[in-house]
Amino acid sequence: MAQIHVAHLRKYYQVHEKEPGLIGSLRAFFARKYRTVKAVDDISFDIEAGEIVGFLGPNGAGKTTTLKVLAGLLYPTSGEVRVLGFEPFKREHAYLRQFTLVMGQKQQLMWDLPPIETFLVNQAIYEIPDAEFKATLRELDELLELGPLLKKQVRKLSLGERMKCELAAALLHRPKILFLDEPTIGLDVTMQARIREFIAEYNRRHGATVLLTSHYMADVTALCERILVIDKGKLLYDGDFRALIERVAPYKIMRLQFDQPVSTEQLMQFGEVESNEGFTATLRVPRAQATEIALRLLAQLHPEDLTFEDPPVEDIIRAVFAGAVPAEVLSARATLASAAAAAPAQM
């Protein structure tokens, strides 16, 4: 049984629309006009125990709304939602003890007090025994290096230090489900990497299920094998991340370096030339023929260095959002990925 089950979830809002000026105000007073906003519009997915799933979409796509429904903060307009067998909107105590929601733009730490004070409050809220609390805090300290931060006022912490403490506060009760909404937003590259390492290690140690939203593709590529892509409330793709890249961009980027200039005409016989600056060049070559082309190029042009790269993930996701990828491509790949994922279980 999936730990997170979502079937035909919808969350609609009625938004008041007002015309400008005094006349608009009077009309709005006597005859209000409303517009239906479909924040989440008939999406379905299942997530198994221990999975780390990326939840991608532009601003306003419905990601945070979905997470809030899963956390029980919003009541769905329609559809079925079950997490760990519970209906989140019922806010049952047994459910509240088993998940956490971390929002990178919100904070639960008390601003004028040190983080340890918030930790103690959470210990009381979740009724964590002293021995378990101390053991968990030691483990989180080991993973996040919290020692110097615990007795320092939150308002004096840097953004990265505060996010480490936010994560620790959210995980003191060792939740089975982690809903992470932009956990690395605003952090520098080093701290982003540190937070990613922590999430991966927590998942490895405790088998926690993670649903992660992020605008940083590095977060997704480092942590997630499976992604959900949502836009305008609709689920566009659910499947293997690598499979999506291969399907949408059936080519590789070949970067070359030479000890003497090479003409564009010489390079054109091997692939599409994206750039050529004489001593360095970039080609786009079919993914299925990449090895063969590399061997021919090495034999004929003798480059000093040759490397392959996948196209930028941002470009792939941007193409999906822009509708540049046919629906049959997305659905076909999702079906194949799901079948491949299910195959080992059937053996």
**Average pLDDT over every residue of 74-83:** 95
- Nearest one of 101, 136, 94, 96 to 119, comparing CA atoms: 136
- The encoded tokens of residue 21 equal 């000026």
pLDDT at 325 (0 to 100): 67
Measured CA to CA, the distance from residue 193 to residue 256 in angstroms comes to 29
pLDDT at 309 (0 to 100): 85
| 338 has a pLDDT exceeding 50 | no
pTM (predicted TM-score): 0.80
Tell me the per-residue pLDDT of 129-168, one tens digit each, with 9 for 90 and over: 999 999 999 999 988 889 889 999 999 999 889 989 999 9
| 340 has a pLDDT exceeding 70 | no
Task: Please report which residue ranges of 260-347 form alpha helices under DSSP H.
Answer: 264-268, 290-301, 313-321, 327-346
**Average pLDDT over every residue of 292-318:** 88
Which of the listed ranges 265-274, 312-321, 334-343 does the model predict with the highest average pLDDT? 265-274
Mean pLDDT over each residue of the chain, to the nearest integer: 87
pLDDT at 80 (0 to 100): 96
pLDDT at 34 (0 to 100): 83
pLDDT at 87 (0 to 100): 96
Tell me the per-residue pLDDT of 226-269, one tens digit each, with 9 for 90 and over: 999 999 999 989 999 888 888 788 889 999 999 998 999 999 99
- Nearest one of 78, 97, 77 to 86, comparing CA atoms: 97
CA distances from 222 to 71, 138, 198, 206, 270 (A): 25, 26, 12, 19, 31
State which amino acid sits at residue 204.
R
pLDDT at 335 (0 to 100): 46
- Per cent of the chain over pLDDT 70 is 93
| 20 has a pLDDT exceeding 90 | no
Which domains occur in the chain, in start order?
A: 4-244 (3.40.50.300), 250-309 (3.30.70)
- Nearest one of 91, 52, 74 to 214, comparing CA atoms: 52
- Nearest one of 127, 47, 122, 130 to 83, comparing CA atoms: 47
pLDDT at 344 (0 to 100): 42
**Average pLDDT over every residue of 83-92:** 95
In terms of C-beta distances under 8 Å and separation of at least 24 residues, what long-range contacts does 272-280 make, across chains too?
280/255, 280/256
Res. 295 pLDDT band, cuts 50 70 90: very high
pLDDT at 179 (0 to 100): 96
